[in-house]
Chain A
Amino acid sequence: MSVRVLRVGASALLLELGSGAEAGAWHAELLRRRDAGELGAVREVVPAARTVLLDGVADPAGLAARLERWEVPALAAAAGPLVTVPVRWDGPDLAEVAGLWGVSSAEVGRIVAGTEFRVAFCGFAPGFGYLTGLPERLQVPRRATPRTAVPAGSVALAGPYAGVYPRSSPGGWRLIGSTDAVLWDPEREPAALLAPGARVRFEEAR
């Protein structure tokens, strides 16, 4: 698992990996070593699609040299806390996604509920997690025309990702369901239901 360490200005490093899975493994290892006090002063650890950004680094050159020597194990399947999200399969794009997949609308919910996802990273809005886990053949393109308002709690698919809108916002993802779970509440600890590294299962709401 080879890492490219890129300098970002005077106090940040961008770690570039070969895949999202490798970035997830490095993110987990960075958090483990930070918790063990082995990382040094770093303000932010921000995973993304194939990278992990370390920002607010006291000694970027020294840390870069150390990172290049790290041996990082692949991510264990059971790593990370498991979060279960109850969903009604009532999204306005459900039939369209079923058509793209060549299955019935009811089958879409069963396929998604049978998939274990992982929060690869957050972005777009506070508490919006980009969930990986869908096999490549089930990837669907974004809508040609984004909606001006997607309701909070919408469960959606786009490209390699699944996601849940934490609040009403514009959006171009395909909506397949909805949940009453509160994705984001800054008064709550933790504020984000879906934080990077968590495993996620969707189950039919009762």
Chain B
Amino acid sequence: MVTERSLGDVLGTVPVAGVHPEVNWVRVEIEAPHLIPALRALMAHGWVFAGIVVEEDGERAPWRLTYLLGADRAPWVGVEIWVHEDALASVSSVLFAADWQEREAEDLYGIEFRGHPFPGDFALHEGSFPAFAPMRRSISPAPPPRPRPAPRIVDAPGGFTLPVGPVFSGVQESVQFLLETVGEEIIFAHVRLFYKFRAAEKTMEGRTPDDAILIAERVDGTAAFAHGLAFAQAVEALARARVPERARALRVLFAELERIRSHVAALTAILESTGLSVPASLLATQVERLLEISGEFTGHRYLMGLMTPGGLRADLSDADAGAVARRVRHGVEAVDEIYGRLTFDESFLDRLEAVGRVSPEEAATFGAVGPVARASNLSRDLRAAQPYSGYEGWRFDVPVEKEGDGYARWRVLMAEVHESARLLEQVAGALPPGPVRAGVPPTGGVALGFAEAPTGALVYWVRTDPAGQITRCRIITPGLANWHVFPTAVRSFAFQDLPIILATFGLSVADADR
């Protein structure tokens, strides 16, 4: 196990300008040329890349970039560099997981990542921002983003690109696929995200945490509680506030309720994509029942409005918690009955088995998180790796499957539903007494908040001014990481497999686009 003190040993011969312990992470300050060796050294010791935080700072240079890495039961590390011009060296050639985050920063901040292996249009589409980089503080000095050709890999006779989206299919989030093909088979799928870019990070700037949490909850409305939790924990860490025990336990209860609902909805979507309408309808009914439980006991079907820095805005009585657990158990049993029948349905299994395979190496290279990573034999779960909100006190397992195909993801989702129900029952039966909310004084500083959202690791990186107002909030979502690996899974599959593979990934576009 690595401690803050031993970070010096980890970094070895890399010249470090300073190691500064922050509230709940360690800031390693280095000169820009030493960035790649530093990242390499950390990754060799088990740290995993989480994200890049770009700040228009001006304190010592125009740009401050923090490369955030997490590890299993070791402190989060942020490698900080200062950049004096609107360009810096790309790290994607050695750290491929950073690929999309560099391209995002390039488009949204108008800074160039030199030597990026696959530069190309990414976050700005069809002249949505004709004259400025949208995340910059001021409009005038920013150069317009460079126009770039659409990506193209296939160069064969009869090869063409089939565009799908952003408006397509039935009730579907807006995203575009550019499918390169020579006929039946998808040779490569380019995913064009950011049609739903709402600039959530920038809209949170200049607001109090109480105001900003309304936006955090609506970054991904289907994982509103996880987003609220990650954000609230960042604000609580800043103020070194103690959250009452009862609120910590109830947060686990609601987070697991949300996970169960989200996973059952994902299972429903998989069934719909394979055309099995009877079991899909039976599961859709259970999703509705879970939404009704949320609505009845918290006032909101998607658990919004409940979270606040310092605890929860409403209590749940012990009796009600027991009722929630009982009704959820009933729902999970109904889902399990359908799941059991499907295990013997060959036409269903044929559509999932060996389809959309992601190898453990690919999952690690792309930095996959959540059920997608766990179906590819990567046991990554923040609830176990970096326990928060008292998860260390409850018993649960992290289900892992080896194959990395659609069927493995299907099984991981169901196994996690069972684990979440088990957690929910433990918590409901042992709620500590007391208040559910404590005061959080406005504090300046920088801190991390993180939670395992239903779709994977979610990190909020929050910097505030002394009055407690947010000056920068970086949201590192599971969607951004898992959409990155998705094209690998559909490579060399027929067109009709695309919706099925997409469904087994259970991705949210809103969450990736922010």
The answer to whether A and B interact is no
A residues at B contact (CB < 8 Å): none
B residues at A contact (CB < 8 Å): none
